[in-house]
Structure 1
Amino acid sequence: MPSRSDVITPALLREWALPVPTGGKEARGTVLVVGGSRFTPGAVLLAGVAALRAGAGVLQLAAAESTAASLSIQVPEALVIGLPETGDGAVRGDPGDLLRGLVTEADVVAVGPGLTDIGATGELLRLVLDAAGRETALVLDAYALGALSHAPDLLAGSGRRVVLTPNLTEARHLLGRDPGDDLDVEAVELAGRYDAVVSLYGHIATSDGRAWREESGDAGLGTSGSGDVRAGLLAGLLSRGADPAQAACWAAFAHAVSGQRLVPRYGRIGFLARELLDEIPYTIATV
């Protein structure tokens, strides 16, 4: 039987209003994005800027050391640190104490955008889980989900504030089989299996079986870098104080509606992921 889920509408979100922090940037939290490689620094940039657009107060980027200087110029709002690389340009799994210290101090850590080595990503994920405080929120995306599928007990029973953002390929790895047609059901199964909130193509589920779905997403969101924007958007909402399920629902809506806002200018499938970034604040503000 298909699962029951609530449609994410502006009315639902208005009843589930986002926190509005007062005070300085520290009140809006620190987001740390861990990702990238020599050849994929753009994923970290997209996720990081999306986090700021969603309301994060402080942004830190940890990416392959060969890309750190250019990232610091392209995202002058962020602290950028370079992580050791393999010969192939992937981030190594033993980056040292500097990353551990940043994880310890962050309010939200997003792991995965642009990472390219599954073994090293698994080591990075274990480092993050070891160093993060119990209240630190985590967003796991891309290769971090592949690494999690190889170690499914990492989160089970941990009680951590975690959101997983799989696409269909990543969902297949996490499930150990091809997903069925009812993505509500699959999201609920994944949430229960990994003890996390799951955002699967606009289908949101919690480990206790609550579920929502976003129905306004369009084909244009299936573009390179779009998932990195969504992961960063989620991290930014968590940073400003949203709980994981709330952040996942708001992020799914803001991601989809930001895409809709671009259609009159670029068509249904002509816009770029980076063009979503400037639409995010207005979309959130006008719910």
Structure 2
Amino acid sequence: MTGASDELVTPAVLRAWPLSEPGVGKESRGTILVVGGSATTPGAVRLAGEAALRAGAGKLAIATAASVVAPLAVAVPEARVLRLPEDRQGSLAADAATAIVEAAGGADAVLIGPGFVDPEASVRLLEAVLPQIACPVMLDGPGTAYLTQYPEGLQHLTASALVTANIRELARMLQRDPDEVDEHALDAARELAERTGVVVVAGGAIKHIAGPDGRSWTIEGGGPGLGVSGSGDVQAGIAAGLLARGEAPAKAAVWAGFVHARAGEHLAAAVGRVGYLARDLPAVVPRVIAEIG
């Protein structure tokens, strides 16, 4: 796979691969279910959920740890917030699986992983969840640990699954040294996409996206300000919102990666190269999408 060509994403590339018309009502733009968070990390699902709505999803449901449901429901009044049982460490307990599967039955796409803090607990939960979900699924952050243990665990979702991972998570899924993966991130993303049958987004200063069909894309830009806590949750939310709107995983990933980068550049110009917060990014997303046209 080394040396295979990839496509540099530009506004012209996206205009030739436009998003579908959004429709006139919230039902037509889809429902996104965001599953994640813990007693100590409720902000991640808020960032991801708000980004999904800013990307055009019509309805938002958030399923998270019971102890943070009340303040989160106030903070995100647009969302239906579902209370899930926690383990002693505040992570989602394995017996939350039934409620997650039930909620996924009413969703057009499911994002799992923002705010997870324990990869082992994530795997225990997802063992009972993912085999029962039929709609498009996106795994993010520690949720990707499921693919480390079950590399073929999303292949029942033919052409309907997407994974976003930083270099450390990508290396873990491939069982490789992180420095080696960092040096050859595009090839690593291609290998994981081929192995798992899902679209893979490898995060970093340069974003690499690879599909199981052999296609791949590179996104440059964004700036150092995107290297801040919560930024990846926003990118995951943008992609998940586009999945809920009915876009294929590859298109959702490419558009989300580019929009995320350009949102960072907008904020760098308005605020500074560094110092803006991840919570500032979602509000810029509609403007960036409109500018691409």
Coarse TM-score class (shorter-chain normalised): over 0.9
After superposition, the Cα gap between the structure-2 partners of 1:105 and 1:160, relative to the gap in structure 1 and judged at 3 Å, is farther
Deviations 1:27-70 (A, max 9, x none): 10110000000000000000000000001111000000000001
Q: Does 1:273 align with 2:278?
A: yes
Q: Work out which of the residue numbers 254, 260, 264 in structure 1 matches 2:259.
A: 254
5 Å matches for 1:105-184?
A: 105-133=106-134, 136-156=135-155, 158-178=157-177, 179-184=181-186
Instruction: Give the TM-score normalised by the residue count of structure 1.
Output: 0.95
Give 1:79's aligned residue. Answer: 80
**Residue number in structure 1 paired with 2:269:** 264
Identity %: 45
Unpaired stretches in structure 1, ≥5 consecutive residues: none
Are residues 97 and 184 of structure 1, via their aligned partners in 2, closer, same or farther at CA, if it must alter by over 3 Å?
closer
Equivalent pair of 1:44/1:228 in contact (CA under 8 Å): yes
Distance, in Å, in 1 between the alignment partners of 2:126 and 2:20 is 28
Deviations 1:140-192, CA, capped at 9 Å, x for gaps? 00111123212223124652511110101101101110205232211111110
Alignment-derived partner of residue 228 in structure 2 = 223
* Cross-structure match for 1:67: 68
Q: Does 1:240 align with 2:242?
A: no
Please report how far the alpha carbon of residue 132 of structure 1 lies from its aligned counterpart in structure 2 after TM superposition. 1.5
1: CA distance, partners of 2:71 / 2:6: 43
Describe the shift of the 1:2–1:219 C-alpha distance in structure 2 as closer, same or farther (beyond 3 A): farther
Q: Which runs of 5+ in 2 are unaligned?
A: none
Deviates more, 1:20-29 or 1:151-160: 151-160
Deviates more, 1:160-169 or 1:27-36: 160-169
Counterpart in 1 of 2:198? 196
Conserved? CA contact 1:103–1:128, under 8 Å = no
Contact 1:157 1:195 in 2 (8 A): no
Equivalent residue, structure 2, for 1:100 = 101
Aligned counterpart, 1:36: 37
- Secondary structure (helix, strand or coil) at the match of 2:281 reads helix
Q: What amino acid maps onto 1:209 in structure 2?
A: G
2-side partners of 1:11 and 1:157: how far apart?
34
Give, in whole Å, the separation in 1 of the partners of 2:21 and 2:129: 28
Q: Tell me what 1:3 maps to.
A: 4
Count matched residues: 285
Whether the 8 Å contact between 2:190 and 2:211 is mirrored in structure 1 is yes
CA 1:96–1:181 in structure 2 vs 1: closer, same or farther (change >3 Å)?
A: closer
Q: 2:57 aligns to what?
A: 56
Segment drifting more, 247-256 vs 93-102: 93-102
CA contact (8 A) 1:53 1:277 kept: yes
1:283 corresponds to: 288
Alpha-carbon separation, structure 2, partners of 1:263 and 1:80 = 32
Contact 2:45 2:233 in 1 (8 A): yes
The aligned amino acid for 1:37 is S
Q: Which runs of 4 or more aligned residues in structure 1 lie more than 6 Å from their structure 2 counterparts after TM superposition? A: none
CA distance in 2, matches of 1:23, 1:261: 28
Is the CA contact 1:156–1:193 (under 8 Å) kept in the aligned structure 2?
no
**Is the Cα–Cα contact under 8 Å of residues 48 and 236 in structure 2 kept in the other structure?**
yes
